[in-house]
């Protein structure tokens, strides 16, 4: 049975990511099946086993903040502030100089997996090369994970709860889920929620290379590298960017005449309590998160038309995730459509779930199933309808999006057409 509480709707969207620096640009490229994955340009990657990533391109932070602000922010914070500015504008939270929300009842919930790795990298180099006096004064305030949420709250005067959620690759999903709970049970009325990441630097890429998590076989053809559910997949592709959504209590949104994209109706969260980097081999934790989200939404498996999958393109994840979907959805798993948009966006770590929630909302709005690109020959263990290589239009009422993170973190959201 559906849990009691107030209804929560989505009224604003914003993103900076490898496919685009606006919602419209991102969605256009998703529908075109375009890849945002290229050879790394932030440093010379020749000595690395993985030389490709999903980098943000042509991003102008001065559209959203002044030079002094940018000097005091790491990349992950810049992406988050810019995406929040877009979402707040989209939600029409300000009419001229008048707020359309109560700042004391507006929360900020931002997921982040890593923090400012590029700041850490630079500071450590200076420390061991030139000594402690050489470190920049703002090193710590720029690198720590909570600074994205803190800067958003400061810039827009949001005086309710301000929280940073770090559940690795599930961070963005969990941030939205926790904000959803806070509104539903009356702690706040509105929230700025999502995820952000900005860790494409030598330190970040080297670390993931050492645990053999990244794709290494497609350095010459980056657009082919992310191959969720395909038999030739060989690892995930590191990405960066942010995705932010505005959540509102339904009556609050209706009173101010807000545009409602979709209704957020369920959140499920579990832990595998198994391995620090690998998912539960039986898919039990992921399945339980999806079933919990469905139960929370008061919806049957048959009411879900589309799953935006975690779909990392790693040898381990994809068959286990397929197994988890079958456990959660039973026979209906073969009737619904599943896709991994990471095949185009790359894996944005702490921002992944938030960007994928945005894509799920747009799928509902336009009644369009995004595709999984590079799915040329499915792994025999991956036998669902992954919408290979070309998106399709069709009826979409209910959508589930799920994220799985290092440490065994599993989060799932359910949205439906309003």
Arithmetic mean of pLDDT over the chain:
97
* Same domain, yes or no: 188 and 281: no
* Same domain, yes or no: 171 and 192: yes
Could you tell me if 285 and 223 are in contact, meaning their C-beta atoms sit under 8 angstroms apart? no
* Same domain, yes or no: 235 and 358: no
Q: Which of 169, 226, 371, 382 is catalytic?
A: 169
Q: What is the pLDDT of residues 337-386, one digit of tens each?
A: 999 999 999 999 999 999 999 999 999 999 999 999 999 999 999 999 99
* Same domain, yes or no: 121 and 148: yes
The pLDDT of residue 3 is: 61
* Same domain, yes or no: 141 and 97: yes
HSE of 228, CA atoms in CB hemisphere, 13 A: 30
Q: Decide if 2 is inside a domain.
A: no
Long-range contacts of 213-222 (CB under 8 A, 24+ apart): 213/277, 213/314, 214/49, 214/50, 214/238, 215/50, 215/52, 215/313, 216/49, 216/50, 218/52, 219/39, 219/50, 219/51, 219/52, 222/35, 222/37, 222/38, 222/39, 222/52
Q: Decide if 193 is inside a domain.
A: yes
Q: Is 295 a catalytic residue?
A: no
Q: What is the pLDDT of residues 294-330, one digit of tens each?
A: 999 999 999 999 999 999 999 999 999 999 999 999 9
* Same domain, yes or no: 122 and 245: yes
Q: Is 347 a catalytic residue?
A: yes
The pLDDT of residue 412 is: 98
* Same domain, yes or no: 163 and 193: yes
Q: Which of 29, 252, 347, 409 is catalytic?
A: 347
* Same domain, yes or no: 108 and 143: yes
The structural domain count of the chain equals: 2
Q: What is the pLDDT of residues 223-261, one digit of tens each?
A: 999 999 999 999 999 999 999 999 999 999 999 999 999
CATH of residue 216: 3.40.47.10
Q: Decide if 77 is inside a domain.
A: yes
The pLDDT of residue 293 is: 98
Domain end among 255, 279, 294: 255
* Same domain, yes or no: 119 and 245: yes
Q: Decide if 261 is inside a domain.
A: no
* Same domain, yes or no: 218 and 345: no
Is the model's pLDDT at 1 over the cut of 50?
no
* Same domain, yes or no: 134 and 241: yes
Domain end among 206, 232, 255: 255
d(CA 197, CA 362): 22
* Same domain, yes or no: 222 and 339: no
Rounded to an integer, the average pLDDT of 250-278 is 96
Domain end among 255, 290, 310: 255
Judged by DSSP in three states, 97 sits in: coil
Range of the domain at 295: 267-407
Could you tell me if 195 and 348 are in contact, meaning their C-beta atoms sit under 8 angstroms apart? yes
Q: Decide if 89 is inside a domain.
A: yes
Q: Which of 162, 201, 226, 310 is catalytic?
A: 310
């Amino acid at each position: 049975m559906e849990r009691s509480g107030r209804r929560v709707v989505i009224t604003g969207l914003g993103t900076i990511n490898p496919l685009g620096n606006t919602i419209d640009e991102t969605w256009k490229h998703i529908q075109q099946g375009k890849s945002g994955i290229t050879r790394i340009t932030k440093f010379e990657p020749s000595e690395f086993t993985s030389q490709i990533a999903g980098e943000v391109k042509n991003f102008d932070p001065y559209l959203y903040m002044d030079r002094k602000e940018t000097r005091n922010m790491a990349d992950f914070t810049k992406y988050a502030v810019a995406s929040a500015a877009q979402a707040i504008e989209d939600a029409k939270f300000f009419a001229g100089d008048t707020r359309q929300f109560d700042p004391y009842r507006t929360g900020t919930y931002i997921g982040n997996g890593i923090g400012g790795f590029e700041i850490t990298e630079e500071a450590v180099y200076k420390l061991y090369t030139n000594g402690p006096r050489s470190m920049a004064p703002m090193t710590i305030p720029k690198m720590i994970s909570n600074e994205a949420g803190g800067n958003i709250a400061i810039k827009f005067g949001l005086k309710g709860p301000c929280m940073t959620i770090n559940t690795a690759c599930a961070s963005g999903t969990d941030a939205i889920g926790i904000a959803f709970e806070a509104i539903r049970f009356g702690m706040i009325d509105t929230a700025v929620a999502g995820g952000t990441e900005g860790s494409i630097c030598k330190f970040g890429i080297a670390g993931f290379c050492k645990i053999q998590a990244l794709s290494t076989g497609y350095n010459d053809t980056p657009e082919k590298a992310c191959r969720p559910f395909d038999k030739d997949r060989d690892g995930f592709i590191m990405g960066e960017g942010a995705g932010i959504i505005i959540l509102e209590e339904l009556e609050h949104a209706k009173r101010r005449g807000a545009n409602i994209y979709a209704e957020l109706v369920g959140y499920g969260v579990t832990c595998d309590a198994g391995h620090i980097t690998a998912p539960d081999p039986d898919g039990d934790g992921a399945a339980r998160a999806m079933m919990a989200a469905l139960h929370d939404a008061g919806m049957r498996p048959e009411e879900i038309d589309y799953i935006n999958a975690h779909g990392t393109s790693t040898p381990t994840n994809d068959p286990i995730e397929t197994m988890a979907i079958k456990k959660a959805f039973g026979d209906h798993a073969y009737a619904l459509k599943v896709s991994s948009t990471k095949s185009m966006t790359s894996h944005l770590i702490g921002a992944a779930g938030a960007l994928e929630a945005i894509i799920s909302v747009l799928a509902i709005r336009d009644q369009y199933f995004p595709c999984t690109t590079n799915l040329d020959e499915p792994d025999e263990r991956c036998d669902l309808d992954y919408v290979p290589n070309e998106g399709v239009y069709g009826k979409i009422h209910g959508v589930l999006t799920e994220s799985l993170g290092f440490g065994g973190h599993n989060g799932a959201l359910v949205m439906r057409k309003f």
